[in-house]
Structure 1
Amino acid sequence: MRRLRQLAERTPAGRERYADLLRALAITMVVLGHWAITVIGYDRADRPTGHSALGDLPWAWPVTWVAQVMPVFFLVGGYANAAALTAWRSRGRYATGWLIDRSSRLIRPTTALLVILALGGAIAWLSGADPAEIRTVVWFATIPLWFLVAYLVMVPLTPAMYALHRRVGLVAPLVLVGLVALGDVGRILGPAGLATGNYLFGWLAIHQLGFAWYDARRRSPAEPDQRVADRPGLRRRRLPTSRRAGAALLLTGLVALVLLTRVGPYPVAMLNVPGERLNNTAPPSVALLAAATAQLGLILLLQNPARRWLHRSGPWQAVIAVNAVVLTVFLWHLTAAVLLVSLLNALGVLPTPQVGSAAWWAWRVPWLLALAVVLAGLVAVFGPIEARTRRHGRASAGGPVRTALVAIGYAGVATGLLVNSMTGKTTPEPLGLPAPALVAYLAGAGVLRLLRTGWGSRG
């Protein structure tokens, strides 16, 4: 508590505490949402298995318009990346060094998860476990990693995309929304491959709005390039952040959602529902961007009371505490579910009530509490890896060789996570993780780790 009080007292006056609160709330909602809708049962081989309850609870689909909070995370990510990059450059440092520095907080906790899972898989395999079963368990534990693939693309694109934002302003996200709509046409009418780019364009559009939010919140309205500031229209206009603007965005997003899901071809749920023709998140659809618009409006409506609340010591200390281990919480929350289910099954007390029954709803409370206890134990063990991450001032040099190495490092990490996400959950994998994915990830993480120590700075 003393450490938290010290950190709270040292918070810079210009820090956007609201963005930190939104990040903490977004991840907390993801964790609770995943846990709450999980249905546990047994397969034909009498092994525990799980799936989402959304397919059996259609009345809950509109709730996902709020519960699907990945857009909030990418919005906050854009804000935080713009703020951090601007501060870094204000000290005369290169963007390459910023990318090296930024990689530490993301990659170290992720590496810990993958290494532990691979070691656990190896031990299980040597003990005679079926590689397909090992993969199924690890596949479930690594579901959250799909999000990191997208975010690890956003970070290295930030220097170029923020420079583009400074030149064209709100034109950039509007163009990206148009590209997402074009991809949706491909999904609906063909060719379906036209929608592949939506994995990039959808999240990038929301990330660009984060840049716009940061620029709107900057204390000084002065632009570094006055010629850019003098340009007319959307290229000059800042994102409106008043309550009136928030109400307009909320209403616009909700109306668009109703039209797209009731009149248009999009599913009501913003999360995957088995059997639906389209998935609004894989890849991101226009409907998901409409939900993001409504969420942005709600964020703007609540910003003033939230900021006043966050200037109280207690709430701000709580936000600091959560954000210190927020990625660890996200990465390990499904592993906590695997461990709890395995324990209850081994004890012969694993409840498997019918979805939507009174017993199923009654089980939600002890289920969530038990998962929270298991996750707390995991965070106590692995949280310090994230919380103790320090920035490396030495990682500020530029140079073409160093820049190329940064690109290789990020590409290796993202490729490894992508290969793992694309590998089937029953594919026989002795380590639980595909060997090419693990090699690519560790190679990329190793390059970035060496760069953080100053290696290659003369290149």
Structure 2
Amino acid sequence: MERNRYADLLRTGAIGTVVLGHWLLTNPTYRDGRLSGQDALQYVVWGRWLTLLFQVMPVVFLVGGLANAASWTEYREHGGDWASWVRRRALRLLWPATVYLVAVFLGVTVARESGTGPGELAQTGWYLALHLWFLPVYLLLIALTPVLLAAHRRWGPRVPFVMAVAAAAVDLAVLGPRLPVVGFANYLLVWGSMHQWGFAWQDGRLTRGRRPLLMAAAGALLLAGLLARGPFPVDMVGTGHRAGNTTPPSIALLAFAAAQCGLLLAAEPAGRRLVAGARRQERLSRLNRAVMTVYLWHPVPVVIVAVTLYPSGIAPQPAVGSWQWWALRPLWLAVLALLLAPLTLAVQRAQRPLRRLAVDPGRGGLGSAVALACGLAAVLPALARLAVNGFAPDGRPSGAVLASYVGGFLLVLFSRRHRPRPGGRRPDGLREPGSPPG
């Protein structure tokens, strides 16, 4: 099956945009001997409109749906089973995530033993874990892909439509009776709807004729109505509003995603021409192999700069939003990029031996499926707790969360014994270079 290079381009561009957006909005401070940080969106009000450019996670889920549909379809054609496929897909994310988690936990422990204050440690640990929200949501969608894809093949666009209606009902429950716990359902309903669009992209249902443009127009009209008449803010990444768009994700975010993804799907013919040619595809493949590492590790350069250049007085600290602050942003981004590049190369090199352990040509039975499910049931809540509370919520490393994660990861890793397939054929599905989130 031919790999969709335009999807690779979208995924690589989306992760790069996420990184730049996070860096642009982050502002470290050092005052009265205490290191802290600020969210630029709290000080630059008009900057909330910029989030319409930097909120690109819908693209990641769209591409992920396409990749998961293609991979599962090919895997099943070769006789693969659910547990084997989910394990392989999950480990491509969990191996690099485990390396990152262990490294950060060690760093937090060393910092605490070195006398770092609990407040600084808690805030730094929270910043280093904030982006991990993506992992439990996406891993859950991987585990549900066989069921969701079967539903797509039977009911088509009615599946994401029903999910969207359910997401709107969840919003009403959160905003009306104030039932915040219900809002967690929208992590599956909203992001899952975008994942379903990827299924329709993969089988061609969504890209026929003018459907992408109709999708974009419908999303834009709904978004305009929700922003003009509804309680939702234009801010597509921030928090601090009575009705936010990301924590939990809202119907407004889904409308925005429809407009964004529709336009990008309409541009696919031009995008395919852009990445045509062996050299361009090879460069794109190299970038694609690095996206998960870049995504996981991009907060680390911020912490390195914050703890070295700010207490020493080397880094200036103009007021957020001032012309001096904006003038220094390109330099800030350049320094972080220069730090992230060698860090990414070093981490990728260190992960190469581990990546081979994720490839297992055997098949599993009921026991393997149960072990895999139990492992994911431990890993997903642990990652979610880290994303919400950080690595050191009370100034101390969260040992219980780490133990839960490691235990679950080991269950996933050893969830089936090696039993070679007849004839030595291994159902690989699509080749997935590195560990991109899709």
SS at match of 1:143: helix
Q: Taking structure 1 as reference, are residues 393 and 113 closer, same or farther at Cα in structure 2, changes over 3 Å only? A: closer
SS at match of 1:427: coil
Q: Confirm whether residue 117 of structure 1 aligns to residue 84 of structure 2.
A: no
Q: Taking structure 1 as reference, are residues 322 and 35 closer, same or farther at Cα in structure 2, changes over 3 Å only? A: same
CA deviation after TM superposition for structure 1 residue 418, in Å: 1.4
Q: Confirm whether residue 185 of structure 1 aligns to residue 149 of structure 2.
A: no
Q: 1:355 aligns with which of 310, 320, 337?
A: 320
Q: Confirm whether residue 407 of structure 1 aligns to residue 373 of structure 2.
A: yes
Deviates more, 1:126-135 or 1:251-260: 126-135
Question: Which amino acid in the other structure matches residue 59 of structure 2?
Answer: V
Separation of aligned partners in 2, 1:387 and 1:47 = 39
Q: 1:129 aligns with which of 101, 108, 116?
A: 116
Which TM-score applies when normalising by structure 2? Answer: 0.90
SS at match of 2:38: strand
Structure 2 residue aligned with 1:232: none
Tell whether the 8 Å contact from 2:34 to 2:120 is kept in structure 1 after alignment.
no
Question: Which amino acid in the other structure matches residue 411 of structure 1?
Answer: A
Q: Taking structure 1 as reference, are residues 113 and 300 closer, same or farther at Cα in structure 2, changes over 3 Å only? A: same
CA-to-aligned-CA distance 1:291-350 (integer Å, 9 cap, x gap): 110011111221001101211233322221111111110011111111111110243212
Structure 1 residue aligned with 2:244: 279
Structure 2 residue aligned with 1:90: 77
Separation of aligned partners in 1, 2:290 and 2:352 = 6
Q: Taking structure 1 as reference, are residues 353 and 387 closer, same or farther at Cα in structure 2, changes over 3 Å only? A: farther
Question: Which amino acid in the other structure matches residue 86 of structure 2?
Answer: L
Separation of aligned partners in 2, 1:386 and 1:19 = 24
Alignment of 1:192-271 (within 5 A): 192=179, 193-216=181-204, 238-242=205-209, 244-271=210-237
Q: Over aligned residue pairs, what C-alpha RMSD do you find? A: 2.2
CA-to-aligned-CA distance 1:200-234 (integer Å, 9 cap, x gap): 21111111111111111xxxxxxxxxxxxxxxxxx
Instruction: Give the % identical residues.
Output: 37
Separation of aligned partners in 1, 2:90 and 2:384 = 17
Alignment of 1:365-404 (within 5 A): 365-385=330-350, 389-390=355-356, 394-404=360-370
Q: 1:325 aligns with which of 282, 286, 290?
A: 290
Question: Which amino acid in the other structure matches residue 325 of structure 2?
Answer: W
Q: 1:24 aligns with which of 12, 37, 41?
A: 12
CA deviation after TM superposition for structure 1 residue 444, in Å: 1.1
CA deviation after TM superposition for structure 1 residue 390, in Å: 4.1
SS at match of 2:165: helix
Q: Confirm whether residue 423 of structure 1 aligns to residue 389 of structure 2.
A: yes
CA deviation after TM superposition for structure 1 residue 449, in Å: 1.9
Unaligned runs of 5+ in 2: 422-438
Q: How many correspondences in the alignment?
A: 419
Structure 1 residue aligned with 2:410: 446
Separation of aligned partners in 2, 1:363 and 1:335 = 20
Separation of aligned partners in 2, 1:212 and 1:401 = 33
Structure 1 residue aligned with 2:436: none
Unaligned runs of 5+ in 1: 1-11, 217-237
Tell whether the 8 Å contact from 2:163 to 2:189 is kept in structure 1 after alignment.
yes
Q: Taking structure 1 as reference, are residues 393 and 342 closer, same or farther at Cα in structure 2, changes over 3 Å only? A: closer
Structure 2 residue aligned with 1:221: none
Separation of aligned partners in 1, 2:363 and 2:88 = 11
Separation of aligned partners in 2, 1:344 and 1:185 = 46
Question: Which amino acid in the other structure matches residue 8 of structure 2?
Answer: D
